[in-house]
Structure 1
């Protein structure tokens, strides 16, 4: 996909407006194809996207541009910013000047040098990614994942600092010098939500200060933590964000399913997973108290330089909030928008709404095969 010279000369604000106008012009309908349409054409309450996985290619391209990482996310600004609260998983540290030995290092003066800021297997992203995510419409960043300790405790601390300084909330880890809660509180439509992120692993890297919340083996367990948060009068609902499962598998494991059901039974109103780097099914669980609880086992990669169809296809999940006659808060009307990663001449590696690019049809079809065709929202409503 190529963009005109005139488009690239616009200011960042003008480019955002142009994208929103393009999106609106291309929308066939603003009514999702499945579920309760009471909030269709309104602003979604919640949006969730997949893994922000900045491989070396993406970092090196960003280092050669004055805009850094921004062009890679710009095509998705309307999709990410339309929800009241948007959540992504940052798959790795964004720790200023931390070496692979987990020590303070001299500033390399670039967004990528292969040492301080590096790709797989021990990631570290330039902290400018934090402001880019915020400007793209992200509100909450999940920091519990298997790469969370790639730069040790110092890296985890500086990542949290960078995200906080950019105006982002975080969930899943806490600073080494604080026992502060690892969940985020967000107010959406007058409801106070607790977002709890956890990880199955830190890739065997030490977490001596227990900064990363684990999905398994905690005391209290994740279901017990959900139950205790629900018992607080100031919290109206809990959403679990587990980093779990088997990489590159489109099928959730029995362990994923057990934790999802236990979380729903404990009172979670939604469960949105990450880690497999491919899409896994979107289902609704029946909780012990009769509630229907949406679970997305994996939303795949939001951005990466993994090029198989399954890896370059992701989804943004939208949910609304509503109370039932008993006054219980529910996550309702699940629908999703397929995304696709492409490498273009003007943006480098970037992520796009799959339905709006010529190459996107295979990703739309793949998302429908995995997530179901009944909840697809190819062109969701946009409020510019």
Structure 2
């Protein structure tokens, strides 16, 4: 295996402007591993820290609440004194994670968290509030959910490569759980619509780029649905710089759409699981997408130089379930091959260089 430069000028394996990772889906096994060691969740992400930290701004989907001491009745219960007790902190089908996960994500290089997903209301409106509180205390802005009683500001902004970038997350569903206080942004049927929100942000003075983060599609399907494709094109036409999706728990293709005004808009329909305890090859294989910001010939900010790092989840005797760059694992070959079959040839190694 050899590597070639992936930097925008082709001269070096440059630091990317942006990184996007898939679903953080902490099943009971992962929470049990964390509860049994003083480092908690940190070892689960340690092998991938360098890959997440490489970009100036890194974004991922936290699939489920991180609400301190909230039980399945959506009310506070006694502190269990552990990271997993199957009462306050639970796995599938209604997740809730110990809020210490927020600090771990911050420490491994995450900068923005997507909280709009089908498990966002697994601890009700109180769970949404406490999850956002835990993330804020860790220094992590979130997009896609809001606290009860707050103004409906769905986006967050970060400075990236000297530009102001807005991130907007939405979800297709909350698994039938009531969104009566409208705390979770819907991808479909929302008023105002997602394209309208994107159009408004892209026309806002001081915002240079808008990234849509939709939670969408069919679980375990390697192909985007017609509904995904329609929303992706509508987002591009409304002014989105790129669209990076989540939810299917497997990889789906990366494509480039042409917007109504002629811009080239990358769309990653699904980056799969960053971490979970789903062991079939397509579900244990994920990708970290790297993008750079550039200007097109018309002087508009675009997302360019898309490439991806294939990842793989394993369970180790000492550290438990953990996610690693697939290229660093003795068993990583099948995940590398699977990622390239779905996403194409622009895979990078742990050093950020393209794999030949």
Q: TM-score, normalised by structure 1?
A: 0.90
Is the CA contact 2:3–2:349 (under 8 Å) kept in the aligned structure 1?
no
Q: CA deviation at 1:219?
A: 1.1
Instruction: For structure 1, list consecutive stretches of 5 or more residues without a partner in the other structure.
Output: 1-26
Q: CA deviation at 1:37?
A: 4.0
- 2:349 is equivalent to residue 378 of structure 1: yes
1:51 to 23, 43, 48: 23
- Cα distance, 1:41–1:144 mapped onto 2, change above 3 Å: same
Aligned counterparts of 1:318 and 1:210: Cα–Cα separation in 2 = 32
The CA deviation string for residues 45-86 of structure 1, in whole angstroms up to 9 with x for no partner, is 000000000000000110000000000000001100010000
Is the CA contact 2:8–2:292 (under 8 Å) kept in the aligned structure 1?
no
SS across alignment from 1:283: strand
Determine the structure 1 residue equivalent to 2:312.
340
- 2:249 is equivalent to residue 277 of structure 1: yes
Equivalent residues in 2 for 1:77-96, closer than 5 Å: 77-96=49-68
Determine the structure 1 residue equivalent to 2:5.
31
1:239 to 188, 200, 211: 211
- 2:274 is equivalent to residue 302 of structure 1: yes
Determine the structure 1 residue equivalent to 2:101.
129
Q: CA deviation at 1:177?
A: 2.2
Q: CA deviation at 1:88?
A: 0.5
1:41 to 13, 22, 25: 13
- 2:130 is equivalent to residue 158 of structure 1: yes
- Cα distance, 1:163–1:355 mapped onto 2, change above 3 Å: same
- 2:230 is equivalent to residue 258 of structure 1: yes
The CA deviation string for residues 256-278 of structure 1, in whole angstroms up to 9 with x for no partner, is 00000000011101000000000
Instruction: For structure 2, list consecutive stretches of 5 or more residues without a partner in the other structure.
Output: none
SS across alignment from 2:330: coil
- 2:75 is equivalent to residue 103 of structure 1: yes
2:265 to 293, 303, 308: 293
- Cα distance, 1:63–1:166 mapped onto 2, change above 3 Å: same
Determine the structure 1 residue equivalent to 2:182.
210
Q: CA deviation at 1:180?
A: 4.5
The CA deviation string for residues 261-314 of structure 1, in whole angstroms up to 9 with x for no partner, is 000011101000000000000111111111111000000000000000000000
Q: CA deviation at 1:106?
A: 1.1
Is the CA contact 1:30–1:380 (under 8 Å) kept in the aligned structure 2?
no
Equivalent residues in 2 for 1:322-341, closer than 5 Å: 322-341=294-313
Is the CA contact 2:8–2:14 (under 8 Å) kept in the aligned structure 1?
no
- Cα distance, 1:254–1:40 mapped onto 2, change above 3 Å: farther
Is the CA contact 2:49–2:109 (under 8 Å) kept in the aligned structure 1?
yes
SS across alignment from 1:94: coil
RMSD (CA atoms): 1.3
SS across alignment from 1:268: coil
Higher helix proportion:
1
Aligned counterparts of 1:95 and 1:260: Cα–Cα separation in 2 = 32
Q: CA deviation at 1:105?
A: 1.3
